[in-house]
Amino acid sequence: MRIRAITFDLDDTLWPIAPAMLRAEQRLNAWLGAHCPRAAQAYPIDAMRALRDRVAQEHPQIAHDFGAQRRLALRAALLPHGYGEDEVAGAYTAFYAARNEVECYADALPALDQLKARYPLGAITNGNADLDAIGLRHYFRFSLHASDFGSAKPAPDIFLAACAQLGLAPAEVLHVGDDPALDVVGAHQAGLRCAWLNRGEATWTQLGFAAPTAPDLVIGDLAQLVEMLARSEAVA
């Protein structure tokens, strides 16, 4: 496999997103308790989560923009209780800061250090992680966020835009991600090579996708990716 650049998914590829989201929900709840007590009482964490899910369902046009969904949900929670846009902005800031307090998987940074020395790296995410806030910006030549870009994985556009930024043909770029549909099938359909980061137990076959969408590589962690690429370079 002749790979000339690598793009990475972020959430659940470089760090687990669930603990960060939980912390963000708790931090938001505490912020509301201090600044918007009537809304905090009406929307404890479970109710806020349900509201956010409902807002997302009711506004499919912003399905690619989790930040917009969150701000809309905060407006729906706060404005009827007499709070204003300043409180919406403050609540979002509290949530978003905690959302970016991620803890990378142990294999992530050593792999990025090694891969960055050998390949241009890019990030392609449907989420709203802030690489500057997280402190990982320096690893990546660029990061494409579905919210800024205007469409999300698995549609080919965002993958092709990444290839254009790299000045490479899709077949020269390897996309690495955890999500079978968004990352593997999406990258495959755009013509990229794809590595499925499978930290769980399921096999690709068990997922039931059609055979042509199978990943080029299956890795259990990012250290394996470094090893496999080094081996394939050695025989290329």
The residues that touch Mg ion, with contacts defined as CB under 5 A, are 9, 11-13, 178-179
Is the Cβ of residue 52 or residue 153 nearer to Mg ion in the bound state? 153
Would you tell me how many other CB atoms lie within 10 Å of the CB of residue 132?
Answer: 11
The least distance separating Mg ion from the CB of residue 131, rounded to whole angstroms, comes to 14
The least distance separating Mg ion from the CB of residue 178, rounded to whole angstroms, comes to 5
User: Rounded to whole angstroms, how far apart are CA atoms 177 and 44?
Assistant: 33
Is the Cβ of residue 79 or residue 155 nearer to Mg ion in the bound state? 155
User: Rounded to whole angstroms, how far apart are CA atoms 58 and 156?
Assistant: 25
The least distance separating Mg ion from the CB of residue 181, rounded to whole angstroms, comes to 11
The least distance separating Mg ion from the CB of residue 197, rounded to whole angstroms, comes to 8
Is the Cβ of residue 88 or residue 112 nearer to Mg ion in the bound state? 112
The first and second tokens of residue 226, run together, are: 């470094």
Is the Cβ of residue 183 or residue 216 nearer to Mg ion in the bound state? 183
User: Rounded to whole angstroms, how far apart are CA atoms 190 and 180?
Assistant: 14
Question: Closest-CB residue for Mg ion?
Answer: 12
Biggest alpha carbon distance in the chain? Answer: 66
User: Rounded to whole angstroms, how far apart are CA atoms 217 and 196?
Assistant: 6
